[in-house]
Amino acid sequence: MAKLINQTENGVIFIENESGVFGIVSSSIITDEDGLLCEQDTLTTLERNGFELDQNWDSNETTLKLGGGKRVVFSGAFAELA
């Protein structure tokens, strides 16, 4: 299962799984562990790297569950730690 590493004061959420470390900036911007921008959007990158995403079509939200009961909720252009 994916785990939360930390969230910076700028709001970037760093997560990790067996594929590596990723920095979620927004639902459209994600970086790899070297800080380089990934070519695909955040949700596509996470899915392709083995993260499990739950989509709720009624509320138009996608949730990434992390260990320890934490989750990242994507809604529109925003990503927030819940």
**pLDDT at residue 1, rounded to an integer:** 83
Q: For the chain, what is the mean pLDDT? A: 94
**pLDDT at residue 36, rounded to an integer:** 95
Average pLDDT score over residue span 12-25? 96
Determine what percent of the chain is predicted with pLDDT higher than 70.
Answer: 100
Q: Which helix (H) or strand (E) holds 47?
A: helix 42-48
Average pLDDT score over residue span 3-30? 95
Q: Which helix (H) or strand (E) holds 78?
A: strand 78-81
Determine what percent of the chain is predicted with pLDDT higher than 90.
Answer: 93
Q: What is the DSSP letter of 29?
A: -
Average pLDDT score over residue span 32-36? 93
